[in-house]
């Protein structure tokens, strides 16, 4: 997406080129699952996706290419969208900061100009017992975290120095007004398409950067009188997230606060494995599940692929403008879950295998990554016949399944 191109009508595209960066741990497992779903849904809609696999993260380091090879960045910049699994793991934890896999991801985000990270959080019907929260608290959760992605502590000056014989380490949080304005405008526009509630999450009682965020958001709020704009300190917001999630619509956060709150919010969705994300703002969007490489379950076929699959749906909707393809994937995921299929992480809350089965509730069936993907693939054709408009109407009617995220226009 280019800033400001959001709502411009574009010619329908029938083919797309997507770069896949599997990365490390469960990254390659979930990216392959997502690529299969995107390819199949596109084919069912009469379109075509071509994939290029590119190196990134620890596996690229091991091949002597560094954490984010220039060839990968160039491939991404020349693509129609990028799908990334996750990078990092214990094997690379002792490398100097700038050489770690995670530094490569930051480099890619910056190269793609992806300043707005969108993390939708909803509890799918049927997953009420997957969250450790009481169903009456979590039910109906439908919020979006808009996380600033190219500033703050992640990109500020950091280092160490000797101070009177002691080791002093520092990280710096800096924000420029323009960096705040561009992501805040995006969040206001998003709120407008949803329940018209925007909450700026900050620490303005302590941090000067937060005070600038408040000033900028307060001044922009005048341009969006139809959006209710509130302010909440990050510490109390962390509580509110699990106390009354339905009261929240769009949460606007600086980089670090957004990172932390999104993993907390994953509890509302039943598992970290459920959350998808889109990072947009530059010529091409970067789509990745919110979770990491999950070293504890990597290579065992246990990973929940849904966060990655829903990220592929976001790619279809936001970069390719294939709303029908996106809706097809989202509907197939919802149907698979409603029929009781769960990966292991989704029975970690209060659900147990074989539970349900009475009173119209399907029995819970615990499956691995491949089987979950196969079940979703099998259901795609059920949602294939709709036109994009029909599909959009259906999903909006079901609690805003497409999260009200505005189309971003793609790169052409």
Ligand X SMILES: CC(C)[C@H](C(=O)O)[C@@H](O)C(=O)O
Ligand Y SMILES: NC(=O)c1ccc[n+]([C@@H]2O[C@H](COP(=O)([O-])OP(=O)(O)OC[C@H]3O[C@@H](n4cnc5c(N)ncnc54)[C@H](O)[C@@H]3O)[C@@H](O)[C@H]2O)c1
Chain residues in the site for ligand Y (CB under 6 A): 26, 30, 86-89, 102, 105, 272-273, 288, 291-297, 303-304, 307, 345
Cβ burial of 223 (10 Å; 0-12, 13-18, 19+) is exposed
* Residues between 44 and 103 that touch ligand X (CB under 6 A): 88, 102
Residue 307 belongs to what H/E stretch? helix 306-318
Catalytic residue among 24, 80, 129, 154: 154
CA-CA distances (angstroms) from residue 270 to 5, 9, 123, 143, 229? 35, 37, 7, 14, 28
Question: In the stretch 220-259, what mask flags binding to ligand X with x, by CB under 6 A?
Answer: ---------------------------------------x
Angstrom distance (rounded) from CA 398 to CA 78: 36
Q: How far is the CB of 263 from Mg ion (least distance, A)?
A: 6
50 labeled binding residue: no
* Residues between 253 and 272 that touch Mg ion (CB under 5 A): 259
Angstrom distance (rounded) from CA 25 to CA 234: 31
Residue with Cβ nearer ligand Y (130 or 143)? 130
Query: Is 193 a known active-site residue?
Result: no
List the structure tokens of 351: 């659900």
195 labeled binding residue: no
Is residue 401 within 8 Å of residue 125, measured between CB atoms? no
Q: How far is the CB of 278 from ligand X (least distance, A)?
A: 12
Residue with Cβ nearer ligand X (38 or 272)? 272
410 labeled binding residue: no
CA-CA distances (angstroms) from residue 129 to 137, 141, 241? 11, 14, 18
List the structure tokens of 226: 């139809």
Q: How far is the CB of 259 from Mg ion (least distance, A)?
A: 4
Pairing of strands 142-148, 116-122: antiparallel
Is residue 29 within 8 Å of residue 305, measured between CB atoms? yes
The residue whose Cβ lies closest to ligand X is 102
Instruction: Give the residue, chosen from 146, 290, 316, 372, that forms a contact with ligand X under the rule CB under 6 A.
Output: 290
From 330, 293, 325, select the one nearest 309 (Cα to Cα).
Answer: 330
Is residue 75 within 8 Å of residue 54, measured between CB atoms? yes
101 labeled binding residue: yes
Does 105 contact ligand X by CB under 6 A? yes
Pairing of strands 286-287, 81-86: parallel
Question: In the stretch 202-241, what mask flags binding to Mg ion with x, by CB under 5 A?
Answer: ----------------------------------------
Query: Is 203 a known active-site residue?
Result: yes
The residue whose Cβ lies closest to ligand Y is 292
Q: Which does 301 bind (CB under 5 to 8 A by kind): ligand Y, Mg ion, ligand X, none?
A: none
Q: How far is the CB of 99 from ligand Y (least distance, A)?
A: 14
Q: How far is the CB of 376 from ligand X (least distance, A)?
A: 23
Does 179 contact ligand X by CB under 6 A? no
DSSP secondary structure, 133-151, as one string: S-HHHHTT-EEEEEEE-SS
Q: How far is the CB of 76 from ligand X (least distance, A)?
A: 16
Catalytic residue among 249, 259, 324, 345: 259
Place of tokens 């969108």: 118
Name residues whose C-beta falls within 8 Å of residue 301's C-beta, 6 or more positions apart in sequence: 29, 368, 369, 370
Catalytic residue among 70, 177, 235, 398: 235
Query: Is 177 a known active-site residue?
Result: no
Rg for the chain, CA atoms, rounded: 21
47 labeled binding residue: no
Residue with Cβ nearer ligand Y (185 or 291)? 291
96 labeled binding residue: yes
Q: How many CA atoms lie within 13 A of 208 on its CB side?
A: 5
Q: How far is the CB of 275 from Mg ion (least distance, A)?
A: 10
211 labeled binding residue: no
342 labeled binding residue: no
Exposure string over 373-409, b if 16+ CB within 10 A, otherwise e: bbbbbebbeebbebebeebbebbeeeebbbbbbebbb
Residues that bind Mg ion (CB under 5 A): 259
**Binding site for NAD(+): what residues are annotated?**
89-102
Catalytic residues, by residue number, are 154, 203, 235, 259, 263
**Binding site: what residues are annotated?**
89-102, 109, 119, 147, 235, 259, 263
Residues that bind ligand X (CB under 6 A): 88, 102, 105, 259, 290, 292
């Amino acid at each position: 997406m280019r800033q400001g191109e959001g709502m411009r009508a574009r010619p329908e595209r029938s083919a797309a080129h997507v770069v896949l960066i599997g990365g490390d741990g469960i990254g390659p497992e979930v990216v392959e699952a997502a690529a299969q779903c995107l390819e199949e849904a596109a084919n069912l809609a009469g379109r075509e996706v071509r994939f290029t696999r590119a190196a990134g993260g620890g596996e690229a380091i091991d091949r002597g290419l560094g954490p984010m090879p220039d060839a990968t960045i160039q491939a991404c910049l020349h693509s129609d969208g990028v799908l990334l699994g996750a990078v990092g793991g214990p094997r690379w934890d002792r490398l100097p900061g700038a050489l770690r896999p995670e530094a490569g991801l930051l480099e890619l985000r910056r190269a793609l100009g992806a300043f707005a990270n969108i993390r939708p959080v909803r509890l799918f019907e049927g997953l009420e017992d997957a969250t450790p929260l009481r169903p009456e608290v979590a039910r109906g959760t439908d919020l979006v975290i808009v996380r600033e992605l190219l500033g703050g502590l992640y990109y500020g000056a950091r280092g160490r120095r000797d101070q009177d014989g002691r080791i002093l380490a520092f990280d710096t949080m800096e924000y420029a007004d323009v960096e705040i304005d561009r992501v805040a405008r995006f969040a206001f526009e998003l709120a407008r398409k949803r329940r018209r509630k925007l909450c700026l999450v900050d620490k303005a009682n302590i941090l000067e950067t937060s005070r600038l965020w408040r000033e900028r958001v307060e001044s922009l709020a005048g341009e969006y009188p139809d959006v209710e704009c509130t302010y909440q300190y990050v510490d109390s917001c962390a509580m509110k997230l699990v106390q009354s999630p339905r009261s929240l619509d769009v949460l606007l956060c600086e980089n670090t606060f957004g990172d932390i709150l999104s993993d907390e919010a994953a509890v509302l969705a039943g598992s970290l494995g459920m959350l998808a994300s889109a990072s947009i703002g530059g010529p091409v969007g970067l789509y990745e599940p919110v979770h990491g490489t999950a070293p504890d379950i990597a290579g065992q076929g246990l990973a929940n692929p849904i966060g990655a699959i829903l990220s592929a749906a976001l790619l279809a909707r936001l970069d390719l403008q294939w709303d029908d393809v996106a809706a097809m994937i989202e509907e197939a995921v919802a149907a698979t879950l409603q029929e009781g299929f769960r990966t292991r992480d989704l029975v970690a809350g209060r659900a147990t295998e074989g539970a349900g089965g009475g009173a119209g509730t399907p029995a819970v069936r615990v499956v691995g990554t491949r089987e979950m993907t196969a079940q979703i693939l099998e259901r795609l054709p059920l949602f294939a016949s709709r036109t994009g408009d029909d599909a959009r109407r259906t999903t909006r009617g079901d609690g805003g399944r497409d999260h009200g995220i505005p189309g971003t226009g793609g790169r052409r």
